Structure 1
Amino acid sequence: MKFGKRLCQLRKEKKSWSQERLALESGLARSYVSGVERGVRNISLRNICKLAEILEISPAELLIFPDE
Structure 2
Amino acid sequence: MTTEREFEEWAEKIRRVRGQAPAPTRRRKKYPLWVPVVLFLTGLAIAVTIANQTQQQPEPPSRPLQEFLQN
Q: Same fold (TM over 0.5)?
A: no
TM-score range, shorter chain: under 0.3
Return the structure number with greater relative CO, CA threshold 8 A, min gap 6: 1
Q: Which has the higher helix share?
A: 1
Structure showing greater Rg: 2
User: Normalising by the residue count of structure 2, what TM-score does the alignment of the two structures yield?
Assistant: 0.20
